[in-house]
Amino acid sequence: MLPLKCIAMQRSKFIPLLVLTVIGSLFCLPMAGFTAQDSQAVTELKQKAQDAFVKGHYAEAAAFDEEIAIKYPESQARHYAVQMLGTIYEENIVDIKKAVKWDREFLKKYADYRQVPFYNDKIASLEKALNQEQAFKTYKAIQFANKGEEFMVKQFEAFLKQYPDFLLKADVERELAYAYARMDKRKQSAQEFEALSKTEGNKLSLSDQIALDAAKRYWQMTWIWAWVAWAVIVLLWAVVLLRKPWKRLDRASVRKFLIWPVLWLILTAASMPIFFSLETTGYPIVIPVTTILIAVGLNLIVLFWMLLLTRLEFWQTRPRALRWLTPVLTLLMTTAVFYLYVVYQPQGPFMTDVFQVKYEYLMGELRERRLF
């Protein structure tokens, strides 16, 4: 056996050697990373593939990507090339067999756990379309035509008539439903989501169900509740006009009829700088001048109706009822008029949702300030 002194000396030599080895390995890590980088040839091929894809030269892009995938199986760029090949052969060149081949390659070698369900569903959908490749090509051509929503809707409607048994019919109906929503045609959007639910066996995804509920609600706002608002306006005007309040007008009343609108116009003119300086969270709110002028005109109409209302013979013996009911009826008329004005704007129902969210946010801020 070695003496204890010799063992201690060997241990004292071993510890500095171990530290030196660890430090040396740390310095070597960047060098290893450097050597793992792709060669100049691979980098150039990847750049050519990207440039060709951006320019719309999809066959060239696929050729460059395939060269990377086949000739350089250990390169970092192969991950990108394989993924792009699946995309190009599915959406641009439309070769289902090659799309399935490269998607399966990506799923096998590169997909992480979050991508696995997506690629499994994608491959399953492509395999379903193998026997309807011509219909699938037409579907993809419409989907990526980039000619606007109206063009896509017309083409997809004609497509469903031509291919009623298309195996990916649910995807077409989903495209139609969302396209109608973007066009602000909520009734048609809701109908397409209903058709989709039947195709899918009444099993919509969460996002589809949310979109369906929004389409139904927006449709009700532009149809049912809009008619309610129209009924309120017509009824209130009829009540006033049938009583012929202008017969009880005198010079003082006519003077008021002139003074109140003038005061309202002066107040609006003074408030115009406020409208043009509005902003929220650092972004300016752009309100067109025509929108402001229309709102001013609608307010003048409501004001004119209110002045006629106060001249009804009914109030002459009921001053207390005049004080209590006139503000309520005026508020009802104003609400109905501006509800119609907002809801008939492009994306008007969506604007009401945004307003509600903003209102709740402001109320929450006010409550917090009161607490402190």
Phi, psi of 280 (to 5 degrees): -140, 130
Mean pLDDT of 66-76: 93
> For residue 253, what are its two tokens?
């009343």
Q: Which single residue is written with the structure tokens 């890590």?
A: 29
- Residue among 206, 114, 102, 122 at smallest CA distance from 171: 122
When pLDDT is cut at 50, 70 and 90, the band that residue 302 belongs to is confident
pLDDT band for position 8 (cuts 50, 70, 90): very low
Q: Which region among 311-315, 342-346, 351-355 has the lowest average model confidence (pLDDT)?
A: 351-355
Measured between alpha carbons, how far is 267 from 303 in angstroms, rounded to an integer? 14
pLDDT at 91 over 70: yes
Whether 155 has a pLDDT exceeding 80, the answer reads yes
DSSP state of 39: P
pLDDT of residue 138: 93
Q: How far is CA 17 from each of CA 6, 28, 240, rounded to the nearest angstrom?
A: 17, 16, 102
Distance between alpha carbon 64 and the CA centroid of its chain, in Å?
Answer: 35
Task: Give the integer Cα–Cα distance in Å for 109 and 111.
Answer: 6
Separation in Å, CA 214 to CA 116, 172, 196, 306: 31, 20, 15, 36
Cα–Cα distance for residue pair 104/129, rounded to 1 Å: 16
Of 171, 172, 134, residue with least CA distance to 152? 172
Question: In this predicted structure, what is the pLDDT of residue 364?
Answer: 77
* pLDDT, tens digit (0-9, with 9 covering 90-100), for 215-247: 888 888 888 889 999 999 999 999 888 888 777
- Mean pLDDT over 66-89 rounds to 94
What tokens does 307 get?
């002045």
Distance in angstroms (rounded) separating the CA atoms of residues 370 and 286: 31
pLDDT on residue 287: 62
What confidence score (pLDDT) does residue 325 get? 87
In this prediction, residue 282 carries a pLDDT of 55
Question: Roughly how many angstroms between the first and final C-alpha of the chain, as a whole number?
Answer: 79
Distances (CA, A) of 293 to 34, 204, 255, 275, 298: 65, 44, 24, 12, 9
Helix residue ranges, H only, the chain:
4-35, 40-54, 58-71, 77-91, 96-109, 116-128, 133-143, 149-162, 169-182, 186-199, 206-222, 224-242, 251-276, 289-309, 319-343, 348-371
User: What is the torsional sign of CA 206, 211, 215, 221?
Assistant: positive
Give residue 18's pLDDT band: very low, low, confident or very high (50, 70, 90). very low
- pTM for the structure as a whole: 0.63
Count how many Cα atoms sit within 13 Å of the Cα of residue 145 in the half-sphere of its side chain. Answer: 16
The pLDDT value recorded for residue 24 is: 41
Query: What structural domains does the chain harbor?
Result: 40-133 (1.25.40), 145-222 (1.25.40), 224-346 (no CATH)
